[in-house]
Structure 1
Amino acid sequence: MLKSRIAAGDRLVGTVLKTPHYGLIEVLGGTDLDFVMIDTEHSPFSTAELDRCILASRAVDLPVLVRLVEGTPAAILQVLDMGAAGIVVPQVDTAAEAKAIVQATRYGPGGRGFAGTTRAGGFGTIPASDLIERANDVVVVVQIESAEGVANASAIAQTSGVDACFVGRADLAVSQGLPLNAPVIESATEETFQACMRNNVAPMMFVSDISECAGWFGRGARIIAVGSEHKAMQSYFSAGTIGSAKG
Protein backbone atom coordinates (compact mmCIF):
# COMPACT_ATOMS: atom_id res chain seq x y z
CA MET A 1 0.00 0.00 0.00
CA LEU A 2 1.43 3.36 -1.07
CA LYS A 3 0.43 5.20 2.10
CA SER A 4 2.14 2.68 4.38
CA ARG A 5 5.30 2.84 2.27
CA ILE A 6 5.32 6.62 2.61
CA ALA A 7 4.83 6.34 6.38
CA ALA A 8 7.71 3.84 6.54
CA GLY A 9 10.04 6.36 4.90
CA ASP A 10 10.64 4.31 1.75
CA ARG A 11 12.32 6.06 -1.16
CA LEU A 12 9.69 6.13 -3.91
CA VAL A 13 10.18 6.90 -7.59
CA GLY A 14 7.32 7.58 -9.97
CA THR A 15 6.64 9.49 -13.14
CA VAL A 16 4.08 11.93 -14.50
CA LEU A 17 1.48 10.85 -17.05
CA LYS A 18 0.30 13.58 -19.41
CA THR A 19 -1.20 11.56 -22.25
CA PRO A 20 -4.81 10.57 -21.50
CA HIS A 21 -4.68 6.91 -22.48
CA TYR A 22 -4.93 3.82 -20.29
CA GLY A 23 -2.50 1.85 -22.48
CA LEU A 24 0.41 3.84 -21.11
CA ILE A 25 -0.56 2.87 -17.58
CA GLU A 26 -0.48 -0.77 -18.70
CA VAL A 27 3.03 -0.31 -20.06
CA LEU A 28 4.25 1.51 -16.94
CA GLY A 29 2.81 -1.29 -14.83
CA GLY A 30 5.53 -3.54 -16.24
CA THR A 31 8.30 -1.29 -14.92
CA ASP A 32 9.77 -0.86 -11.44
CA LEU A 33 8.04 2.47 -10.79
CA ASP A 34 6.41 2.86 -7.39
CA PHE A 35 3.60 5.12 -8.59
CA VAL A 36 2.30 7.27 -11.45
CA MET A 37 1.02 10.81 -11.03
CA ILE A 38 -1.73 11.55 -13.55
CA ASP A 39 -1.52 15.25 -14.33
CA THR A 40 -5.02 16.61 -14.87
CA GLU A 41 -3.82 20.09 -13.92
CA HIS A 42 -1.78 20.61 -17.07
CA SER A 43 -3.07 17.88 -19.40
CA PRO A 44 -6.40 17.33 -21.21
CA PHE A 45 -7.89 14.38 -19.31
CA SER A 46 -11.63 13.95 -19.65
CA THR A 47 -13.56 12.26 -16.85
CA ALA A 48 -13.92 9.09 -18.93
CA GLU A 49 -10.21 9.00 -19.84
CA LEU A 50 -9.20 9.49 -16.23
CA ASP A 51 -11.58 6.72 -15.15
CA ARG A 52 -10.06 4.27 -17.65
CA CYS A 53 -6.52 5.15 -16.55
CA ILE A 54 -7.37 4.51 -12.91
CA LEU A 55 -9.04 1.22 -13.88
CA ALA A 56 -5.86 0.21 -15.73
CA SER A 57 -3.70 1.17 -12.74
CA ARG A 58 -5.65 -1.18 -10.50
CA ALA A 59 -5.43 -3.96 -13.09
CA VAL A 60 -1.62 -3.74 -13.16
CA ASP A 61 -1.27 -2.93 -9.43
CA LEU A 62 0.45 0.40 -9.99
CA PRO A 63 -0.73 3.08 -7.53
CA VAL A 64 -2.01 6.26 -9.12
CA LEU A 65 -1.96 9.73 -7.62
CA VAL A 66 -4.14 12.26 -9.43
CA ARG A 67 -2.92 15.84 -9.57
CA LEU A 68 -6.09 17.88 -9.56
CA VAL A 69 -6.74 21.28 -11.08
CA GLU A 70 -7.94 22.40 -7.66
CA GLY A 71 -8.68 20.70 -4.36
CA THR A 72 -12.43 21.15 -4.23
CA PRO A 73 -14.50 18.53 -2.38
CA ALA A 74 -16.27 17.61 -5.63
CA ALA A 75 -13.02 17.03 -7.54
CA ILE A 76 -11.54 15.00 -4.67
CA LEU A 77 -14.69 12.89 -4.29
CA GLN A 78 -14.78 12.02 -7.98
CA VAL A 79 -11.24 10.68 -8.31
CA LEU A 80 -11.38 8.78 -5.02
CA ASP A 81 -14.64 7.10 -6.00
CA MET A 82 -12.87 6.04 -9.21
CA GLY A 83 -10.30 4.26 -7.05
CA ALA A 84 -7.23 6.50 -7.13
CA ALA A 85 -4.65 5.78 -4.43
CA GLY A 86 -4.50 9.45 -3.58
CA ILE A 87 -4.52 13.06 -4.67
CA VAL A 88 -2.01 15.83 -5.31
CA VAL A 89 -3.45 19.31 -4.76
CA PRO A 90 -1.64 22.35 -6.20
CA GLN A 91 -1.21 25.80 -4.64
CA VAL A 92 -1.76 24.95 -0.97
CA ASP A 93 -0.72 28.01 1.03
CA THR A 94 -2.10 27.49 4.55
CA ALA A 95 -2.74 24.82 7.14
CA ALA A 96 -6.47 25.62 6.93
CA GLU A 97 -6.46 24.74 3.25
CA ALA A 98 -4.55 21.52 3.96
CA LYS A 99 -7.02 20.58 6.70
CA ALA A 100 -9.99 21.11 4.36
CA ILE A 101 -8.35 18.93 1.71
CA VAL A 102 -7.77 16.09 4.16
CA GLN A 103 -11.33 16.36 5.43
CA ALA A 104 -12.66 16.05 1.87
CA THR A 105 -10.91 12.67 1.55
CA ARG A 106 -12.51 11.23 4.69
CA TYR A 107 -16.03 10.25 5.65
CA GLY A 108 -17.83 11.86 8.55
CA PRO A 109 -19.08 15.35 9.45
CA GLY A 110 -18.06 17.78 6.73
CA GLY A 111 -16.34 15.01 4.79
CA ARG A 112 -16.90 13.30 1.46
CA GLY A 113 -20.26 11.93 0.40
CA PHE A 114 -20.73 8.21 0.87
CA ALA A 115 -21.52 5.81 -1.98
CA GLY A 116 -20.69 2.13 -1.70
CA THR A 117 -21.44 1.23 -5.31
CA THR A 118 -18.32 2.85 -6.76
CA ARG A 119 -15.10 1.18 -7.91
CA ALA A 120 -13.48 2.22 -4.62
CA GLY A 121 -16.36 0.53 -2.84
CA GLY A 122 -16.05 -2.69 -4.79
CA PHE A 123 -19.35 -1.86 -6.48
CA GLY A 124 -21.24 -2.62 -3.32
CA THR A 125 -19.25 -5.66 -2.17
CA ILE A 126 -17.25 -3.91 0.57
CA PRO A 127 -19.06 -3.45 3.89
CA ALA A 128 -19.76 0.20 4.69
CA SER A 129 -17.72 0.08 7.90
CA ASP A 130 -14.69 -1.25 6.01
CA LEU A 131 -15.07 1.33 3.26
CA ILE A 132 -15.21 4.16 5.78
CA GLU A 133 -12.04 2.82 7.42
CA ARG A 134 -10.27 2.53 4.05
CA ALA A 135 -10.65 6.26 3.51
CA ASN A 136 -7.81 6.61 5.99
CA ASP A 137 -5.55 4.92 3.43
CA VAL A 138 -5.95 7.73 0.89
CA VAL A 139 -2.64 9.47 0.15
CA VAL A 140 -2.81 13.25 0.50
CA VAL A 141 -0.07 15.28 -1.15
CA VAL A 142 -0.15 19.08 -1.00
CA GLN A 143 1.94 21.23 -3.29
CA ILE A 144 3.85 24.12 -1.79
CA GLU A 145 4.65 26.51 -4.60
CA SER A 146 4.38 30.06 -3.29
CA ALA A 147 6.25 32.21 -0.78
CA GLU A 148 3.17 32.03 1.48
CA GLY A 149 3.19 28.25 1.32
CA VAL A 150 6.86 28.13 2.27
CA ALA A 151 6.25 30.51 5.19
CA ASN A 152 3.48 28.18 6.39
CA ALA A 153 5.30 24.93 5.60
CA SER A 154 5.64 23.85 9.23
CA ALA A 155 1.95 24.39 9.96
CA ILE A 156 0.96 22.63 6.74
CA ALA A 157 3.21 19.67 7.55
CA GLN A 158 1.69 19.45 11.03
CA THR A 159 -1.78 18.97 9.54
CA SER A 160 -3.06 15.51 10.44
CA GLY A 161 -3.61 13.40 7.33
CA VAL A 162 -1.07 15.14 5.08
CA ASP A 163 1.35 12.49 3.83
CA ALA A 164 3.70 14.55 1.68
CA CYS A 165 4.56 18.10 0.70
CA PHE A 166 5.49 18.47 -2.96
CA VAL A 167 7.79 21.44 -3.53
CA GLY A 168 6.84 23.07 -6.83
CA ARG A 169 10.12 24.78 -7.57
CA ALA A 170 9.12 26.11 -10.99
CA ASP A 171 5.91 27.72 -9.75
CA LEU A 172 7.72 28.94 -6.65
CA ALA A 173 10.22 30.76 -8.85
CA VAL A 174 7.77 32.03 -11.47
CA SER A 175 5.34 33.34 -8.85
CA GLN A 176 8.13 35.56 -7.51
CA GLY A 177 9.57 36.55 -10.88
CA LEU A 178 12.78 34.64 -10.20
CA PRO A 179 14.92 32.24 -12.25
CA LEU A 180 14.54 28.57 -11.40
CA ASN A 181 18.05 28.40 -9.96
CA ALA A 182 17.73 31.48 -7.76
CA PRO A 183 19.31 31.09 -4.30
CA VAL A 184 16.01 31.98 -2.63
CA ILE A 185 14.35 28.98 -4.34
CA GLU A 186 17.10 26.73 -3.05
CA SER A 187 16.59 28.10 0.46
CA ALA A 188 12.81 27.72 0.22
CA THR A 189 13.18 24.11 -0.88
CA GLU A 190 15.49 23.32 2.02
CA GLU A 191 13.20 25.11 4.47
CA THR A 192 10.20 23.10 3.29
CA PHE A 193 12.13 19.82 3.41
CA GLN A 194 13.20 20.53 6.99
CA ALA A 195 9.62 21.36 8.00
CA CYS A 196 8.46 18.06 6.53
CA MET A 197 11.14 15.98 8.20
CA ARG A 198 10.47 17.57 11.60
CA ASN A 199 6.85 16.47 11.30
CA ASN A 200 7.32 13.00 9.76
CA VAL A 201 5.87 14.11 6.44
CA ALA A 202 7.54 13.03 3.20
CA PRO A 203 9.28 15.74 1.15
CA MET A 204 8.41 15.30 -2.53
CA MET A 205 10.24 16.63 -5.56
CA PHE A 206 9.99 16.62 -9.37
CA VAL A 207 13.14 16.09 -11.45
CA SER A 208 13.49 15.95 -15.19
CA ASP A 209 16.07 13.17 -15.31
CA ILE A 210 16.43 10.01 -13.23
CA SER A 211 20.12 10.75 -12.68
CA GLU A 212 19.05 13.57 -10.34
CA CYS A 213 17.24 11.24 -7.92
CA ALA A 214 20.23 10.14 -5.86
CA GLY A 215 21.18 13.72 -5.06
CA TRP A 216 17.67 14.66 -3.96
CA PHE A 217 17.23 11.51 -1.90
CA GLY A 218 20.49 12.44 -0.21
CA ARG A 219 19.03 15.83 0.66
CA GLY A 220 15.99 14.29 2.29
CA ALA A 221 13.44 13.76 -0.46
CA ARG A 222 11.35 10.63 -0.02
CA ILE A 223 9.12 10.79 -3.09
CA ILE A 224 10.37 11.82 -6.53
CA ALA A 225 8.40 12.16 -9.74
CA VAL A 226 10.76 11.78 -12.67
CA GLY A 227 9.90 13.38 -16.00
CA SER A 228 6.95 12.08 -17.99
CA GLU A 229 6.20 9.84 -20.93
CA HIS A 230 6.85 12.92 -23.09
CA LYS A 231 10.34 13.29 -21.63
CA ALA A 232 11.02 9.55 -21.95
CA MET A 233 10.17 9.55 -25.64
CA GLN A 234 12.14 12.72 -26.30
CA SER A 235 15.19 11.29 -24.54
CA TYR A 236 14.96 7.91 -26.26
CA PHE A 237 14.60 9.48 -29.71
CA SER A 238 16.92 12.46 -29.23
CA ALA A 239 19.22 13.75 -31.91
CA GLY A 240 22.12 11.93 -30.26
CA THR A 241 20.47 8.51 -30.20
CA ILE A 242 19.05 8.85 -33.70
CA GLY A 243 22.43 10.04 -34.97
CA SER A 244 24.12 7.02 -33.40
CA ALA A 245 21.57 4.71 -35.02
CA LYS A 246 22.34 6.18 -38.44
CA GLY A 247 26.07 5.66 -37.92
Structure 2
Amino acid sequence: MSYGSVSLTPDSALRPLRSTIGEKAVVGTFQIIASPTVTEVLAATGAEVIVADAEHAAFDLPILEQFVRAGQYRGASVVIRVPWIGSDLSRALDTGAAGVIVPRVETAAQAEEIVRATRFPPVGARGIGPARATTYGLDMPSYRANANDDLLVVAMIETQAGLEAVDEIVAVEGIDLIMVGPADLASSLGTTVGSSEHTDAVTRIIETALAAGRQVGIHCANAADAASYRDRGVRLLLIGTDVAFLAETASTQFAEFSDGDRG
Protein backbone atom coordinates (compact mmCIF):
# COMPACT_ATOMS: atom_id res chain seq x y z
CA MET A 1 0.00 0.00 0.00
CA SER A 2 1.26 3.52 -0.72
CA TYR A 3 0.24 7.12 -0.33
CA GLY A 4 1.77 9.19 -3.11
CA SER A 5 5.45 8.27 -3.17
CA VAL A 6 5.48 7.13 0.47
CA SER A 7 5.59 3.39 1.07
CA LEU A 8 3.34 2.08 3.82
CA THR A 9 4.69 -1.45 3.67
CA PRO A 10 7.12 -2.42 6.46
CA ASP A 11 10.60 -3.58 5.49
CA SER A 12 11.61 -6.68 7.43
CA ALA A 13 14.94 -7.30 5.67
CA LEU A 14 17.14 -4.44 6.84
CA ARG A 15 20.77 -4.87 5.81
CA PRO A 16 23.53 -3.88 8.28
CA LEU A 17 24.35 -0.21 7.78
CA ARG A 18 28.08 -0.88 8.05
CA SER A 19 27.90 -3.16 5.01
CA THR A 20 25.79 -0.71 3.01
CA ILE A 21 28.13 2.22 3.69
CA GLY A 22 31.00 0.05 2.53
CA GLU A 23 29.40 0.00 -0.91
CA LYS A 24 27.56 3.29 -1.40
CA ALA A 25 26.58 6.61 0.08
CA VAL A 26 23.52 6.76 2.32
CA VAL A 27 21.43 9.79 3.20
CA GLY A 28 19.52 10.65 6.35
CA THR A 29 19.12 13.21 9.10
CA PHE A 30 19.31 13.88 12.83
CA GLN A 31 16.25 13.34 15.00
CA ILE A 32 15.66 15.69 17.92
CA ILE A 33 11.90 15.34 18.46
CA ALA A 34 11.17 12.67 21.06
CA SER A 35 8.64 10.61 19.12
CA PRO A 36 8.93 7.31 17.24
CA THR A 37 6.25 8.68 14.91
CA VAL A 38 8.86 11.15 13.66
CA THR A 39 11.32 8.29 13.12
CA GLU A 40 8.75 6.39 11.11
CA VAL A 41 7.77 9.39 8.98
CA LEU A 42 11.41 10.21 8.22
CA ALA A 43 12.02 6.61 7.16
CA ALA A 44 8.86 6.46 5.08
CA THR A 45 9.82 9.63 3.23
CA GLY A 46 13.29 8.49 2.22
CA ALA A 47 15.76 8.67 5.10
CA GLU A 48 18.02 5.64 4.90
CA VAL A 49 19.60 6.40 8.25
CA ILE A 50 18.25 8.37 11.20
CA VAL A 51 20.61 9.54 13.92
CA ALA A 52 18.90 9.87 17.29
CA ASP A 53 20.73 12.78 18.87
CA ALA A 54 21.06 11.69 22.48
CA GLU A 55 23.95 14.13 22.88
CA HIS A 56 21.69 17.18 22.71
CA ALA A 57 18.05 16.08 22.80
CA ALA A 58 16.07 14.97 25.87
CA PHE A 59 16.10 11.23 25.10
CA ASP A 60 16.25 8.36 27.56
CA LEU A 61 16.88 4.68 26.82
CA PRO A 62 13.22 3.56 26.47
CA ILE A 63 12.47 6.19 23.81
CA LEU A 64 15.69 5.40 21.95
CA GLU A 65 14.62 1.77 21.77
CA GLN A 66 11.29 2.88 20.29
CA PHE A 67 13.14 4.90 17.63
CA VAL A 68 15.10 1.79 16.66
CA ARG A 69 11.91 -0.27 16.36
CA ALA A 70 10.19 2.40 14.26
CA GLY A 71 13.13 2.77 11.93
CA GLN A 72 13.53 -0.96 11.43
CA TYR A 73 9.82 -1.30 10.74
CA ARG A 74 10.07 1.21 7.90
CA GLY A 75 13.40 -0.04 6.56
CA ALA A 76 15.72 2.66 7.93
CA SER A 77 18.78 2.20 10.11
CA VAL A 78 18.79 4.07 13.42
CA VAL A 79 22.14 5.17 14.80
CA ILE A 80 22.46 6.73 18.24
CA ARG A 81 24.73 9.67 18.93
CA VAL A 82 25.67 9.25 22.59
CA PRO A 83 26.70 12.11 24.89
CA TRP A 84 30.21 10.78 25.44
CA ILE A 85 32.34 7.68 25.92
CA GLY A 86 31.06 5.43 28.70
CA SER A 87 28.24 3.07 29.56
CA ASP A 88 25.98 4.92 27.12
CA LEU A 89 27.80 3.17 24.27
CA SER A 90 27.01 -0.44 25.10
CA ARG A 91 23.51 0.47 26.32
CA ALA A 92 22.80 2.28 23.06
CA LEU A 93 23.85 -0.78 21.06
CA ASP A 94 21.75 -3.01 23.31
CA THR A 95 18.64 -1.33 21.85
CA GLY A 96 19.40 -2.99 18.52
CA ALA A 97 20.70 0.23 16.96
CA ALA A 98 22.70 -0.06 13.74
CA GLY A 99 25.60 1.80 15.30
CA VAL A 100 26.77 4.63 17.50
CA ILE A 101 28.33 8.03 16.98
CA VAL A 102 30.65 9.50 19.61
CA PRO A 103 31.09 13.29 19.56
CA ARG A 104 34.20 15.38 20.20
CA VAL A 105 36.84 12.68 19.82
CA GLU A 106 40.21 14.35 20.27
CA THR A 107 42.82 11.63 20.82
CA ALA A 108 43.73 8.15 19.66
CA ALA A 109 43.33 6.98 23.25
CA GLN A 110 39.69 8.08 23.22
CA ALA A 111 39.14 6.29 19.91
CA GLU A 112 40.63 3.14 21.41
CA GLU A 113 38.30 3.47 24.40
CA ILE A 114 35.34 3.66 22.02
CA VAL A 115 36.44 0.43 20.34
CA ARG A 116 36.79 -1.33 23.70
CA ALA A 117 33.25 -0.29 24.66
CA THR A 118 31.57 -1.23 21.35
CA ARG A 119 33.36 -4.36 20.09
CA PHE A 120 33.22 -7.83 21.59
CA PRO A 121 36.49 -9.61 22.43
CA PRO A 122 39.06 -10.08 21.07
CA VAL A 123 38.64 -6.71 19.30
CA GLY A 124 37.17 -4.91 22.31
CA ALA A 125 35.77 -5.59 25.76
CA ARG A 126 32.01 -5.10 25.37
CA GLY A 127 29.80 -7.21 27.58
CA ILE A 128 26.74 -9.09 26.37
CA GLY A 129 23.35 -9.37 28.04
CA PRO A 130 19.64 -10.11 27.58
CA ALA A 131 18.65 -6.83 25.93
CA ARG A 132 16.69 -6.19 22.74
CA ALA A 133 19.75 -6.58 20.48
CA THR A 134 20.07 -10.23 21.51
CA THR A 135 16.30 -10.79 21.33
CA TYR A 136 16.27 -10.49 25.12
CA GLY A 137 18.81 -13.25 25.51
CA LEU A 138 17.16 -15.70 23.12
CA ASP A 139 19.69 -15.09 20.33
CA MET A 140 22.95 -14.30 22.09
CA PRO A 141 25.25 -16.61 20.05
CA SER A 142 24.15 -15.20 16.70
CA TYR A 143 24.35 -11.58 17.83
CA ARG A 144 27.72 -12.15 19.47
CA ALA A 145 29.07 -13.77 16.30
CA ASN A 146 27.97 -10.99 13.94
CA ALA A 147 27.98 -7.74 15.91
CA ASN A 148 31.63 -6.82 15.34
CA ASP A 149 31.10 -7.09 11.59
CA ASP A 150 27.63 -5.52 11.47
CA LEU A 151 27.70 -2.52 13.82
CA LEU A 152 28.88 0.89 12.63
CA VAL A 153 31.21 2.69 15.04
CA VAL A 154 31.68 6.38 14.32
CA ALA A 155 34.10 8.91 15.82
CA MET A 156 33.29 12.59 15.32
CA ILE A 157 36.09 15.08 14.76
CA GLU A 158 34.70 18.53 15.47
CA THR A 159 37.28 20.41 17.52
CA GLN A 160 40.69 21.94 16.95
CA ALA A 161 42.24 19.26 19.19
CA GLY A 162 40.59 16.53 17.14
CA LEU A 163 41.80 18.13 13.93
CA GLU A 164 45.36 18.24 15.24
CA ALA A 165 45.17 14.55 16.19
CA VAL A 166 43.33 13.37 13.07
CA ASP A 167 46.24 11.24 11.80
CA GLU A 168 46.36 9.26 15.04
CA ILE A 169 42.58 8.95 15.40
CA VAL A 170 41.99 7.55 11.91
CA ALA A 171 44.70 4.93 12.50
CA VAL A 172 42.74 3.23 15.31
CA GLU A 173 41.40 -0.14 14.18
CA GLY A 174 37.77 -0.72 15.04
CA ILE A 175 36.67 2.80 14.15
CA ASP A 176 34.68 2.42 10.92
CA LEU A 177 33.83 5.99 10.04
CA ILE A 178 35.09 9.46 10.81
CA MET A 179 32.36 12.07 10.92
CA VAL A 180 32.89 15.79 10.52
CA GLY A 181 30.83 18.14 12.68
CA PRO A 182 31.08 21.37 10.68
CA ALA A 183 29.37 23.75 13.11
CA ASP A 184 31.30 22.69 16.21
CA LEU A 185 34.51 22.56 14.21
CA ALA A 186 34.03 26.17 13.10
CA SER A 187 33.22 27.20 16.67
CA SER A 188 36.31 25.48 18.03
CA LEU A 189 38.54 27.05 15.38
CA GLY A 190 37.07 30.48 16.10
CA THR A 191 35.88 30.94 12.55
CA THR A 192 32.72 30.55 10.49
CA VAL A 193 31.37 27.66 8.46
CA GLY A 194 32.59 28.07 4.91
CA SER A 195 35.61 30.23 5.70
CA SER A 196 38.89 29.25 4.06
CA GLU A 197 40.25 27.99 7.39
CA HIS A 198 37.14 25.92 8.00
CA THR A 199 37.06 24.54 4.44
CA ASP A 200 40.72 23.52 4.69
CA ALA A 201 40.06 21.79 8.03
CA VAL A 202 37.09 19.83 6.67
CA THR A 203 39.12 18.82 3.62
CA ARG A 204 42.00 17.66 5.79
CA ILE A 205 39.72 15.45 7.90
CA ILE A 206 38.02 13.92 4.85
CA GLU A 207 41.22 13.25 2.94
CA THR A 208 43.11 11.90 5.95
CA ALA A 209 40.30 9.50 6.85
CA LEU A 210 39.88 8.23 3.29
CA ALA A 211 43.64 7.75 2.91
CA ALA A 212 43.60 5.60 6.07
CA GLY A 213 40.82 3.41 4.66
CA ARG A 214 38.07 4.84 6.89
CA GLN A 215 34.64 5.83 5.64
CA VAL A 216 33.59 9.45 6.14
CA GLY A 217 30.38 11.18 7.18
CA ILE A 218 29.32 14.81 7.50
CA HIS A 219 26.37 16.92 8.60
CA CYS A 220 25.09 18.81 5.56
CA ALA A 221 23.08 21.99 5.22
CA ASN A 222 20.97 20.78 2.31
CA ALA A 223 20.71 18.24 -0.52
CA ALA A 224 23.09 20.15 -2.80
CA ASP A 225 25.69 20.21 -0.02
CA ALA A 226 25.22 16.46 0.46
CA ALA A 227 25.60 15.74 -3.26
CA SER A 228 28.83 17.71 -3.35
CA TYR A 229 30.30 15.72 -0.45
CA ARG A 230 29.08 12.44 -1.97
CA ASP A 231 31.12 13.26 -5.07
CA ARG A 232 34.17 13.62 -2.81
CA GLY A 233 33.75 10.11 -1.42
CA VAL A 234 31.73 10.84 1.71
CA ARG A 235 29.36 7.95 2.47
CA LEU A 236 27.24 9.08 5.47
CA LEU A 237 25.33 12.23 4.50
CA LEU A 238 23.09 13.69 7.20
CA ILE A 239 20.95 16.59 5.99
CA GLY A 240 19.53 19.01 8.55
CA THR A 241 17.38 17.82 11.43
CA ASP A 242 13.75 16.88 11.89
CA VAL A 243 13.14 20.21 13.64
CA ALA A 244 14.77 22.13 10.78
CA PHE A 245 12.56 20.33 8.23
CA LEU A 246 9.46 21.14 10.27
CA ALA A 247 10.44 24.77 10.72
CA GLU A 248 11.38 25.26 7.07
CA THR A 249 8.16 23.81 5.71
CA ALA A 250 5.95 25.52 8.27
CA SER A 251 7.57 28.93 7.85
CA THR A 252 7.32 28.67 4.05
CA GLN A 253 3.63 27.81 4.15
CA PHE A 254 2.78 30.51 6.69
CA ALA A 255 4.80 33.09 4.77
CA GLU A 256 3.05 32.19 1.52
CA PHE A 257 -0.31 32.61 3.22
CA SER A 258 0.69 35.95 4.75
CA ASP A 259 1.91 37.25 1.38
CA GLY A 260 -1.25 36.18 -0.40
CA ASP A 261 -4.77 37.52 -0.46
CA ARG A 262 -6.46 36.73 2.87
CA GLY A 263 -9.86 37.60 1.48
- TM-score, reference length from structure 2: 0.86
Query: Among 178, 184, 188, which residue is 2:201 paired with?
Result: 188
Q: CA RMSD, aligned part only?
A: 1.7
Per the TM alignment, residue 31 of structure 1 is displaced from its structure 2 partner at its CA by 2.2
User: In structure 2, what is the Cα distance between the partners aligned to 1:226 and 1:119?
Assistant: 29
Whole-Å separation in 2 of the counterparts to 1:51 and 1:127:
18
Alpha-carbon distance, 1:5 to partner = 1.3
1:127-138 paired onto structure 2 within 5 Å: 127-128=140-141, 130-136=142-148, 137-138=150-151
From 45, 53, 60, give the equivalent of 1:46. Answer: 60
Q: Could you tell me which runs of 5 or more consecutive residues in structure 1 were left unpaired when the two chains were aligned.
A: none
Whole-angstrom CA distance in 1 between matches of 2:195 and 2:229: 17
Aligned length in residues: 242
Letter in 1 for 2:17: L
Residue type at the aligned position of 1:86: G
Distance 2:135 2:168 in 1: 36
Q: Where does residue 90 of structure 1 map in the other structure?
A: 103
Secondary structure of 1:4's counterpart equals helix
Match of 2:238 among 203, 217, 225: 225
Taking the aligned partners of 1:41 and 1:131, their CA distance within structure 2 comes to 26
Q: CA deviation at 1:127?
A: 4.3
Q: 1:7 maps to which residue?
A: 22
Q: Is 1:104 matched up with 2:101?
A: no
Q: CA deviation at 1:38?
A: 0.5
Distance 2:96 2:224 in 1: 32
Kept after mapping to 2: 8 A contact 1:7/1:163: no
Partner amino acid for 2:147? A
- Aligned positions of 1:81-230 closer than 5 A: 81-108=94-121, 111-115=125-129, 117-128=130-141, 130-136=142-148, 137-230=150-243
Matched residue of 2:173: which SS? coil
* 3-state SS, counterpart of residue 217 of structure 2: strand
Determine the C-alpha separation between the residues in 2 that align with 1:50 and 1:202: 25
Alpha-carbon separation, structure 2, partners of 1:127 and 1:215? 41
Q: Contact 1:65–1:84 at 8 Å: present in 2 too?
A: yes
The question of whether the paired residues in 2 share the 8 Å contact of 1:38 and 1:65 is answered with: yes
Q: Once superposed, which parts of structure 1, at least 4 consecutive aligned residues long, lie more than 4 Å away? A: none
1:88 partner SS: strand
Conserved 8 A contact 1:87-1:140: yes
